[in-house]
Amino acid sequence: MKQYPAEPYRIKVVETPNMLNREERFEAIRAAGYNTFLLKSQDCYIDLLTDSGTNAMSDRQWAGMMTGDEAYAGSRNWEHLEAIIKEYFGFQYVVPTHQGRGAENILSKLLIQPGTYVPGNMYFTTTRYHQEANGATFRDIVVDEAHDPEIDLPFKGNIDLDKLQSLVDEAGADKIPYVCLAVTVNLAGGQPVAMANMRAVRALCDKHGLKIFYDATRCIENAYFIKMREEGYADKSVREIVREMFSYADGATMSGKKDGLVNMGGFLAVNDEGLYQRAREMVVVFEGMPSYGGMSGRDMEAFAIGIRESCQFEYIQHRVEQVAYLGDKLIAAGVPVVKPIGGHAVFLDARQFLPHLTQDKLPAQSLAAHLYMESGVRSMERGIVSAGRDKVTGANHSPKLETVRLTIPRRVYTYAHMDIAADAVIKLYENKESIRGLRFVYEPPMLRFFNARFEYYD
Ligand SMILES: *Cc1c(COP(=O)(O)O)cnc(C)c1O
């Protein structure tokens, strides 16, 4: 039997969650319009909505918080964070932002002209929003296999070089402001990108004079997968792998709320001095001074320490293997999930789970609501609702992957919690025929999944 590493931490502070009874949960999800985003955290027993900003900080990070320098300009915590980012990622210039989308906003505004194309290895909600809001069309250039939940490949987040080449042929390199490469690919199931693929993308982009910006949000998880799966990397440290990954990029946006091991924060890093100057000019409008960018001094200190901790092997090994533990349990019980299990979450394949519901009946949304009702476990829809509508035709995007994401916060839950979540899903799977479809009663015009409300078909 596979061995899973024990928690590489001792618990020093605890938080006691509420356990509502079944009736109370039914009332809570009804009041939330059957949207798990609209549930109160207090009403969730095990909260697997997201791994974003839900990290447990270490005693060292909390100690760092006490050294917060909250000066409006020139905070020493910024100097620390800037130095760590340069050292670990190898970029020359860094601009702080309040979270990842703050960096996406600035990068998109600076580089994108209307009528251009931004290719990426599958979309991410906020990333694509900012690209399209600035007039670009997003082009998915991830390998085909990423859209198939059944295909088990080590690096399902890879870019398909032929798709990138076709776009260059079709649109022309001058119509591609940059290539967006996400490590890992969140919506494909947290699937990693191989170092060989990053190298090949760099070579192809150099041939055409294209820039590459990474979405670095889960880069440490990606580095762990490279160490475990890619030839030639077993003996390299996570830190060395991270450094090599980013050597193939012109810059990166990062949400510190994920692999940064903090609750809030982000940055934009670049190598081009001119671009840096313009980003510094813009950050003051949207985020704040270039020495805090929307973060408190204490947050920047915790972020700097978090980046260091996230590269420790024992930490990242446990993090990824704990997620695999939940996934392996579901696979053993025959529950359809996206394979292989990715770095931050287990994705239930709602199409297979609820074959009696067509995609317009929002099967993943309904499954997430039911999981909460039956168990108090909160998850998130990642399917047709999250995908939104085509900006030109107004038709629903209908992604092949119709999933429910069980996202594991870092250093927060134990294997026993994973058992409870797994048992709840397995029980639901045994009673799946009773799950009905949902329809919108309120649909926001953008990023609709956050605030939408639904009702059940009779
Ligand atoms: C969360 C996330 C973002 C956006 O970051 P925020 O900090 O939530 O603004 C961007 N890309 C990916 C892949 C993410 O998961």
Structure confidence at residue 222 (pLDDT): 98
pLDDT mean over 417-427: 98
How many Å apart are CA 115 and CA 440, to the nearest integer? 32
How many Å apart are CA 333 and CA 439, to the nearest integer? 30
pLDDT mean over 20-35: 97
Handedness of CA 189, 245, 301, 282 (dihedral sign): negative
How many Å apart are CA 150 and CA 322, to the nearest integer? 21
How many Å apart are CA 362 and CA 368, to the nearest integer? 10
Structure confidence at residue 458 (pLDDT): 79
User: Any residues with Cβ below 6 Å from ligand 1, and which?
Assistant: 52, 99-101, 124, 126-127, 182, 186, 215, 217, 255, 257-258, 266
449 catalytic? Reply is yes
Give the residue whose CA is nearest to atom 13 of ligand 1: 186
pLDDT per position as a tens digit, 283-339: 999 999 999 999 999 999 999 999 999 999 999 999 999 999 999 999 999 999 999
Task: Please give the share of the chain, as a percent, with pLDDT higher than 90.
Answer: 98
47 catalytic? Reply is no
16: exposed, middle or buried (C-beta count within 10 Å: 0-12, 13-18, 19+)?
A: exposed
- Determine the distance separating the centroid of ligand 1 and the alpha carbon of 295, expressed in angstroms: 16
* Dihedral angle computed from the Cα positions of residues 305, 308, 311 and 316, in that order, rounded to the nearest 10 degrees: -20
Phi-psi region of 319 (alpha: psi -120 to 50; beta: other; left: phi over 0): alpha
Pocket probe mutation, ligand 1, options 49, 55, 101, max atoms within 8 Å of Cβ: 101
Give the largest Cα separation in the chain, rounded.
61
Say which of 93, 178, 248, 449 is annotated catalytic: 449
Q: How many CB atoms lie under 10 A from the CB of residue 234?
A: 10
| Average pLDDT across the chain, whole number | 97
Cis peptide before 414 (omega within 30 of 0): no
Structure confidence at residue 449 (pLDDT): 94
Long-range contacts of 280-286 (CB under 8 A, 24+ apart): 280/95, 282/106, 282/109, 282/110, 283/95, 283/96, 283/97, 283/106, 286/102, 286/105, 286/106
Distance, CA of 215 to chain centre: 9
pLDDT of residue 54 exceeding 90, the answer is yes
Give the residue whose CA is nearest to atom 3 of ligand 1: 100
H or E element in which residue 93 lies: strand 93-97
How many Å apart are CA 405 and CA 50, to the nearest integer? 8
Please give the single-letter amino acid code of residue 355: P
Tokens 């980012």 found at: 85
User: Is-contact 124 215, C-beta < 8 A?
Assistant: yes
Ligand 1 nearest atom to the CA of residue 186, by list position: 13
382 catalytic? Reply is yes
Say which of 258, 339, 361, 405 is annotated catalytic: 258
Task: Please give the share of the chain, as a percent, with pLDDT higher than 70.
Answer: 100
Q: Token pair of 164, please? A: 């990138």
pLDDT per position as a tens digit, 344-361: 999 999 999 999 999 999
Handedness of CA 248, 252, 255, 260 (dihedral sign): positive
Structure confidence at residue 383 (pLDDT): 95
Q: How many CB atoms lie under 10 A from the CB of residue 227?
A: 20
pLDDT mean over 140-159: 97
pLDDT of residue 391 exceeding 90, the answer is no
Long-range contacts of 316-319 (CB under 8 A, 24+ apart): 316/220, 316/221, 316/223, 316/224, 316/238, 317/5, 317/8, 317/224, 318/5, 318/6, 318/7, 318/8, 319/221, 319/224, 319/343, 319/408, 319/410, 319/411
CB-facing half-sphere around the CA of 158: CA atoms within 13 A: 21
| Residue 455, phi then psi, degrees to nearest 5 | -140, 160
Q: Token pair of 97, please? A: 């932002």
User: Is-contact 134 112, C-beta < 8 A?
Assistant: yes
pLDDT mean over 378-397: 94
Structure confidence at residue 1 (pLDDT): 80
358 catalytic? Reply is no
Give the residue whose CA is nearest to atom 14 of ligand 1: 217
pLDDT band at 407 (very low <50, low <70, confident <90, very high): very high
258 catalytic? Reply is yes
pLDDT per position as a tens digit, 197-240: 999 999 999 999 999 999 999 999 999 999 999 999 999 999 99
Give the residue whose CA is nearest to atom 8 of ligand 1: 100
Secondary structure class of 82 (helix, strand, coil): helix
